[in-house]
Amino acid sequence: MITTITHQNQSYQIDLAKPLDISIVLRASEENVNAWYIDKPKIEPVTEGNWIGKVSEGGSVNFNTINFNPHGHGTHTECVGHITSEFYSINDTLKHFFYLAEVISVTPNREKGDLKITKNQISEQLKHKKTEALIIRTLPNPVEKQNRQYSNTNWPYLDESTAIYIRELGIQHLLIDLPSVDKEKDEGQLLAHKAFWNYPKATRHQATITEMVYVANHIEDGIYFLNLQIASFENDAAPSKPILYKILS
């Protein structure tokens, strides 16, 4: 299903029949990806008296209640409301869903026991500095990222200067395959979040951060169209399903 998209006065062709899903599936399992020291997600049938919402156990329908945390249990997109005392909803922030995006792969640098993604690494990998979205795949990139237990692992993160650089490029939507753009234990500083959103000086309310994506190895670095879809939650963050489409021409 070939379609043409006109973006910034230039036409691009993509094949809607060949989506590249970079979200992680949420499952009620110990194998579900997990961060921030929380329990696994729960997906359980509703019960009321002798009735159970599970067909295999005699119910008329499957009728589950789902208990999860968008920040800790999978791919999610967040707005500046994640770090503000004022309430801002991702459902009000994200109003457009197709963006020109670039995928880059970066091996974080080891510095004093940490793994950092630096400004120079981003600058060296970027080929197209006019995209609206940037997707960072960290290396190595095993499939086990889809069920990794991140708590107490001191995962790689963006240096504050890196987040400033990305913001100054005009990137509105930042996606990464880690639980956070910031260091796991940073005493609440959230330097990369604040730098990317330019908070509180001149807050970029329309900018978003998407964390815990998984960009499979067969997806090459380069330019794509990104369809960034979220569940309609009135919350600072919502589970999301970012889809890439290869540009044909």
One-letter amino acid of 105: S
Structural domain range at position 190: 2-25+70-246
Is residue 183 in some structural domain? yes
- Show the CA angle centred on residue 230, arms to residues 108 and 62, nearest 5°: 115
Question: Is 44 a member of any domain?
Answer: no
Asked if residue 119 belongs to a domain, the reply is yes
Is 74 within a domain? yes
Q: How many domains does the chain have?
A: 1
Establish if 61 belongs to a structural domain.
no
In a domain, 52, yes or no: no
- Give domain status of residue 143, yes or no: yes
CATH code of residue 136: 3.50.30.50
pLDDT at 236: 98
Q: With left for phi above 0 and alpha for psi between -120 and 50, is residue 28 left, alpha or beta?
A: beta
pLDDT along the chain (249 residues), means of 10: 87 95 97 98 97 97 98 98 98 96 98 96 92 98 98 98 98 98 97 98 98 98 97 98 94
78 in a domain, yes or no? Answer: yes
pLDDT recorded at residue 181:
98
Give the pLDDT score at 184: 98
pTM of model > 0.95: yes
